[in-house]
Amino acid sequence: MTNLLYDGVDLIAEYDSASTVLRRYVHGHGVDEPLLWYEGAGTTSKTWLYADHQGSIVVGQADSAGTSSVSEALDVVTDRSTIDNLFYQ
């Protein structure tokens, strides 16, 4: 089981059932503006969250030296059959 910790509406941490930190999140000043997450309790393993021109979140990796690269985009479901299956079952 994963326990989630929020600061208002912003997710700031995930813990496992033994209260071990799994991930920590850093947010910007805007509404719904996640900037990055850290894996575990340290600060060396971080994943940057970039927004494109439409506000979609694009995930990028950064190493301890700060070198980053985009790895994947998180898209909205656009396949009509998938949407129909969600609502008409």
Find out whether 16 and 22 touch, Cβ atoms under 8 Å.
yes
Which one is predicted more confidently, 32 or 85? 32
Q: What is the dihedral of CA 8, 30, 55, 38, to 10 degrees?
A: -60
For the whole model, what pTM was predicted?
0.64
What pLDDT score was predicted for residue 35? 87
61 vs 65: CA distance, rounded Å: 11
**pLDDT tens digits for 36-50?**
889 998 888 888 887
Residue 46: partners with Cβ closer than 8 Å, 6 or more residues away = 36, 37, 38, 39, 62
**Helix/strand/coil for 25:** strand
The stretch 7-36 carries a mean pLDDT of: 90
What pLDDT score was predicted for residue 7? 92
